[in-house]
């Protein structure tokens, strides 16, 4: 029987690895998103929702949350582990979300997803159209001056993080070791080395073309955009 060939660009074989990795390292991003959330509002959408971590966060502040992702296994993980009465998970491409089909939203979120989109300028224009007047967009993605990082760099980064965690007790030893194992998981590394990112300057130019008055904030190896519609 022939061996199954796994597409390294896909997250289909990585939901548990991705989910736990994001739990361990995603605190700063969760804090950034939380800082921009209202006490209560109507509708939010998470474009590229993955295993539902941010959709669950949004569900505490919004009456209705739509989470879309192109990976069915990631959505299955979200439905099993992060169900909520006000979250609707849908298996679809984020570019299929339109005002005509889905209405407009008080908040549009996309985190670490848009570098996978083939036509980013068009996607950003569509995202802007999803935000209703007075609403906001939070778009976060990795940036890298090299555009693409080699496997050895990710391994070295994992070792450095482990040493700093142990030396400075930044997280419990058990979590530090688990994070190292996840960060060097062969399937995870296969995926990371397929990623091609914008440089910081390219991100700034591309995103500000559509959101000229947006606020940009550096995060670890990423830039975060916050924009509010008039």
- Give the long-range contacts of residues 116-120, CB within 8 A, separation 24 or more: 116/9, 116/48, 120/206
Q: Nearest Cα to 113, choosing from 66, 69, 53?
A: 69
Q: Nearest Cα to 136, choosing from 228, 199, 63?
A: 228
Phi, psi of 176 (to 5 degrees): -65, -45
For residue 197, the tally of other CB atoms under 10 A from its CB is 20
Q: Nearest Cα to 228, choosing from 217, 214, 216?
A: 214
pLDDT for the residue numbered 9: 86
230 residues of the chain, pLDDT tens digit each: 444 557 988 999 999 999 999 999 999 999 999 999 999 999 999 999 999 999 999 999 999 999 999 999 999 999 999 999 999 999 999 999 999 999 999 999 999 999 999 999 999 999 999 999 999 999 999 999 999 999 999 999 999 999 999 999 999 999 999 999 999 999 999 999 999 999 999 999 999 999 999 999 999 999 999 999 99
Angle at 142 between CA 140 and CA 148, to 5 degrees: 160
pLDDT for the residue numbered 6: 77
Task: Give the three-state DSSP class for 45.
Answer: strand
pLDDT for the residue numbered 88: 98
What's domain 25-146+197-228's architecture?
Answer: 3-Layer(aba) Sandwich (3.40)
Place of tokens 């070792």: 159
Burial of 58 (0-12, 13-18, 19+ CB in 10 A): buried
pTM: 0.95
Place of tokens 């500000």: 208
Which tokens sit at 222?
């990423």
Cβ 154 vs Cβ 208: under 8 Å:
no
For residue 134, what is the enclosing H or E element?
strand 131-142
Domain spans of the chain? 25-146+197-228, 151-188
Cβ 49 vs Cβ 107: under 8 Å:
no
Cβ 107 vs Cβ 45: under 8 Å:
yes
Burial of 116 (0-12, 13-18, 19+ CB in 10 A): middle
């Amino acid at each position: 029987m022939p061996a199954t060939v796994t597409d390294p660009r896909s997250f289909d074989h990585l939901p548990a690895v991705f989910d736990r990795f994001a739990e361990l390292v995603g605190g700063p991003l969760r804090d950034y998103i939380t800082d921009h959330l209202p006490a209560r509002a109507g509708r939010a959408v998470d474009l590229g929702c993955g295993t539902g971590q941010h959709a669950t966060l949004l569900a505490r502040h919004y009456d209705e949350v739509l989470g879309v992702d192109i990976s069915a296994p990631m959505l299955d993980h979200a439905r099993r582990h992060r169900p909520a009465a006000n979250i609707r998970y849908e298996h679809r491409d984020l570019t299929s979300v339109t005002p005509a089909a889905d209405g407009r939203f008080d908040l549009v979120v996309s985190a670490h997803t848009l570098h996978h989109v083939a036509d980013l300028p068009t996607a950003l224009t569509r995202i802007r159209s999803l935000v209703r007047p007075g609403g906001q967009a939070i778009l976060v993605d990795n940036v890298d001056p090299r555009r693409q990082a080699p496997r050895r760099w990710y391994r070295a980064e994992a070792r450095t993080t482990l040493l700093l965690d142990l030396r400075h007790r930044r997280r419990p030893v058990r979590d530090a070791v688990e994070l190292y194992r996840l960060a060097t998981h062969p399937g995870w590394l296969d995926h990371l080395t397929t990623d091609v990112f914008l440089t910081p300057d390219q991100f700034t130019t591309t995103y500000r073309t559509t959101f000229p008055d947006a606020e940009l904030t550096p995060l670890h190896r990423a830039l975060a955009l916050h924009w509010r519609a008039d």
